[in-house]
Structure 1
Amino acid sequence: MNEIALQIADAPLDETVVRIALAGALGMFLGLEREWSQKSAGIRTFSLISLLGAVFTLLVFESEIGETLLVLGGLLVIVQGVLLAVQGLLSADEAGLSLTTSVSMLVAYGVGVLVAAGFIIEGVTVAVLSSLLLVLKRELHEFAWGLSHEEMRSTIEFSILAFVIYPVLPAKVTAEVGGIEIPLEPQVIWLMVVAVAGIGIANYAIVSTYGGRGIAVTGFFGGLASSTAVVGTMLDHVNQRPEAASYAVAAILLANAAMAVRNLAIAVGFTIGSGSPVLLEAIVPLGAVILVAFAVAAWTADWGESGPIELESPFSLKNALAFGAVFLVVLVFGSLAETWFGTLGFYATAVASGFVSSAGATTSAVVLYRGGQLGPAEATIAILLATVSSIVVKALLASTSSNDGFRNQVAVYSGLLLLGGAVATVAIVV
């Protein structure tokens, strides 16, 4: 505490003044919406509250009674907020509405404390997010009131997956299989489950609005984030709507196309201006995968049919967890293959990385190529292996579906993608 006090005391005068001014400005920013909504506390009140928090925080480092004043100031804001809430309950015009203003006042006090303590970015972030919540009151209420029971349950389940379970998982663990130690990343594996759930929710919203065409949007843009996770979403989609299997197949193909676009952008974009020749060798094979995927997707589904598609729920927690289990098994076998291949370890690493994210293997190959450790042919082969691995693992995951038509089509069309990329590669080599 003494060291911090000395740093504050030795800080330039203008730095302290700027923090106080920023605290007041952020308080005004928070109070702007309350003023516009004609609440009992507005711009001046909120600005003064933030300034009070900033001044008392600075006194913590300068005076023995600073901490007492800081706590007392917070209590005074809480008391004032309670009085406003009671006034709102007794008033016919503002019944039930003053509670938001009361809490906002406490947030303004906290913003002043954060800014004065040196947490500038954090204070600005809290102020902006709080103001956004105030402004979007109507939209947020309409969204919440419009949720069905299934949608509400799915939202809560997704929140538990993303914000409760994920943070407590260890980053890395080591598992032993047959005397071989396999490094695993539980957070990465669970992140795949979260990705499946998140893409499922996005798919639900888009498909409910745009029908079959929405699945194409889910497939391509979901593929840019995680093409493998798209398969988990489509498995759930087909379970709910077997007659929409052709759209789900097209979505997986478009996810493969997005994955190839992303890898090609990394391969070419990160070698421009690097001092090494641009990795043009990757353009033809990856370009062939992209073109074939788009062509087959356009042919397999009737995109002229844009009628609504009713889904039972945004996503299935059971299916998301099952997908995560299958993904874990694939990852373990990929790690074992990397160990068994020995001298071909780098290529095996690219294959195993493709199970998780082909972007990681592509980036690694490009970095090694830029550094001179890999030649253009070796880097291109590693990128292609990761891309092929990603396509194959999606076909394997799709094979777990109980819908024969869906899994057979994914297998056949995935083979076409691989064949198109192979033919293009041979044509260039020859």
Structure 2
Amino acid sequence: MFDLDLALRFGAALGLGLLLGLERERKRDAELLFGGIRTFALIALLGALGAFMERELNQVWLVLAAFIALSALVIVSYATTAARGELGITTEVTALLAFIVGALCGWQHVGVASVATVVCLLLLTLKDFLHSLARRVELADVEATLKFAVISVIILPLLPNQNFGPPPLDVINPYKIWLMVVLIAGLNFLGYLLVKILGNEHGFLLTGVLGGLVSSTAVTLSFSQRSRQEPAMSSAFVLAIVVAWTIMFLRVVVMVGVVNRALAASLALALGCMAAAGLMVSLVLWQRSRTHEKGVVTAGANPFELSEAIKFGLLFGIVTVLARAAQTYLGAAGLYLAGALAGLTDVDAISLSMANLATANSDSLVVAARTIVIAVLANTLVKAGMAVFMGAPALRRTIVLATVLLLFAGAAGSLVA
């Protein structure tokens, strides 16, 4: 009697083995390999057959014997290639994986086998990219990342999750403060990692996107200065700056949403209007700057440096206390003032402070959202001032127009919200 399930399992093993063999077959012209498309398909079928026999006969040694025999062939193959000075073992390891993939199919774990095959194919086909990435990673990056991982994974759970300080300023929570440090460092690291992966040269549009994740202020300073040296490219420089600002608006919404979804929803309209205005300006500037193909953005310092994390933690704690004091003694006006002052240097600390302080009640959310919008508007004004002060005349004119549009969009969105 025909067993459809059995046929599908063996078919899956054959198909996955063929995929692995096809990828290895592409390398045959460049080097002598252990096997190609047929060999890998047969190895996967061998694994499936071994698993099937183990299930039917309850003899696990059949699978082990087949795997040991294959391993012996792999060892002989590696010894032969190593004798020729070729020390790579990728194909041999892939052959062992093909057997395991086939066995998983035989044991009815086709999903696991498929995922393993896809991951293996990605690692094989991205060889040049992964080697290039590894060459870009410096020892300092690895050390800083490991330090931060130890401190966040080991220390964070040990910190007390309770508030300290005299009422009503009892808002210092070591656990929450460090959790915010982990969040902001993670977002910064995403931008840093993208720059490391994609390299230093990009189109100006992509430069703005990456720069907005790393530091929109750094993008503003860098391209404003360059506009004095290359005034003819001012449109392209403004494009990178405005795109970086636009990404920053979206970044704030995402960052707040991780901590307080209700507040992020209240923010979405105002900052969404600013992002939409920034996108419109960017599209116009992109049309004007298409002749300029390259931009440069640097990864900067590793955002997982412990000293930088501690500085942000201290800043976050101070801003949180000041925001609570302003809220308690000065009301909403005090929070708006705190937002404006904090936004002169950084929007992350005040945004996360508001996300932690805001409650579910609508009045609290409105005040917190407006405080963050004020901080973003103040920060945008400061960066625009930098560009006007440091940039070429052509860049100044466009930046002023873009800033007016962004501020108007933010104010209008905030009032409507």
The TM-score, its normalising length taken from structure 2, stands at: 0.60
* Other-structure match for 2:189: 194
Structure 1: how far apart are the matches of 2:252 and 2:303? 31
Structure 2: how far apart are the matches of 1:380 and 1:219? 30
Which residue among 87, 96, 101 is the counterpart of 1:106?
A: 96
Structure 1: how far apart are the matches of 2:210 and 2:17? 38
* Other-structure match for 2:14: 24
Structure 2: how far apart are the matches of 1:125 and 1:217? 31
After superposition, what is the alpha-carbon deviation per residue over 1:292-312, rounded to whole angstroms, capped at 9, x for unaligned? 68659989xx9588486677x
For the 8 Å contact 1:219–1:255, the answer to whether it is kept is yes
* Other-structure match for 2:39: 45
Q: CA deviation at 1:31?
A: 0.9
Task: With a CA cutoff of 8 Å and minimum separation of 6, indicate the structure with the bigger relative contact order.
Answer: 2
- Identify unmatched segments of 5+ residues in structure 2: 229-233, 255-264
Matches within 5 A, 1:274-353: 286-287=272-273, 290-291=276-277, 306=292, 314-317=299-302, 323-336=308-321, 341=327
SS for the counterpart of 1:96 is coil
For the 8 Å contact 1:26–1:127, the answer to whether it is kept is yes
Which residue among 348, 353, 357 is the counterpart of 1:355?
A: 348
For the 8 Å contact 1:49–1:108, the answer to whether it is kept is yes
SS for the counterpart of 1:169 is helix
Structure 2: how far apart are the matches of 1:334 and 1:85? 61
* Other-structure match for 2:73: 80
Change (3 A) 1:193 1:325: farther
Is 2:413 the partner of 1:420?
no
Change (3 A) 1:64 1:110: same
For the 8 Å contact 2:22–2:37, the answer to whether it is kept is yes
Counterpart amino acid of 1:316? A
Structure 1: how far apart are the matches of 2:268 and 2:296? 41
Q: CA deviation at 1:220?
A: 3.3
Counterpart amino acid of 2:41? S
After superposition, what is the alpha-carbon deviation per residue over 1:128-169, rounded to whole angstroms, capped at 9, x for unaligned? 2323444455x449x63xx8xxx8353665566668954883
Change (3 A) 1:78 1:189: farther
Q: CA deviation at 1:26?
A: 0.7
After superposition, what is the alpha-carbon deviation per residue over 1:41-86, rounded to whole angstroms, capped at 9, x for unaligned? 12332123223334445666677651x4444443333221121223
* Other-structure match for 2:209: 220
The CA RMSD measured in Å over matched residues stands at 5.7
After superposition, what is the alpha-carbon deviation per residue over 1:175-216, rounded to whole angstroms, capped at 9, x for unaligned? 6654644223254244134224224436743xx244xxx2x4
Counterpart amino acid of 1:287? C
Matches within 5 A, 1:50-199: 50-57=44-51, 65-66=59-60, 68-89=61-82, 96=86, 99-116=89-106, 119-135=109-125, 139-140=128-129, 144=132, 152-154=135-137, 158=141, 166=149, 169-170=152-153, 173-174=159-160, 178=165, 180=170, 181-182=172-173, 183=176, 184-185=178-179, 187-199=182-194
Structure 2: how far apart are the matches of 1:393 and 1:323? 20
Q: CA deviation at 1:337?
A: 5.4
For the 8 Å contact 1:254–1:297, the answer to whether it is kept is no
Structure 1: how far apart are the matches of 2:350 and 2:51? 46
Structure 2: how far apart are the matches of 1:209 and 1:36? 30
After superposition, what is the alpha-carbon deviation per residue over 1:290-348, rounded to whole angstroms, capped at 9, x for unaligned? 4368659989xx9588486677x654337965554443334334544565547989x98
For the 8 Å contact 2:246–2:274, the answer to whether it is kept is no
Change (3 A) 1:291 1:232: closer
After superposition, what is the alpha-carbon deviation per residue over 1:69-104, rounded to whole angstroms, capped at 9, x for unaligned? 44444333322112122333456xxx6287332121
* Other-structure match for 1:255: 244
For the 8 Å contact 1:23–1:50, the answer to whether it is kept is yes
Q: CA deviation at 1:257?
A: 2.0
SS for the counterpart of 2:75 is helix
Counterpart amino acid of 1:355? D
SS for the counterpart of 2:89 is helix
Counterpart amino acid of 1:78? S
Structure 1: how far apart are the matches of 2:103 and 2:145? 29
For the 8 Å contact 1:232–1:320, the answer to whether it is kept is no
Structure 2: how far apart are the matches of 1:57 and 1:325? 54
Q: CA deviation at 1:21?
A: 3.1
For the 8 Å contact 2:377–2:410, the answer to whether it is kept is no
Counterpart amino acid of 2:75? V
For the 8 Å contact 2:216–2:245, the answer to whether it is kept is no
Structure 2: how far apart are the matches of 1:356 and 1:56? 59
Structure 2: how far apart are the matches of 1:204 and 1:86? 38
Change (3 A) 1:252 1:117: farther
SS for the counterpart of 1:52 is helix
The TM-score, its normalising length taken from structure 1, stands at: 0.58
Structure 2: how far apart are the matches of 1:44 and 1:426? 64
Change (3 A) 1:200 1:99: closer
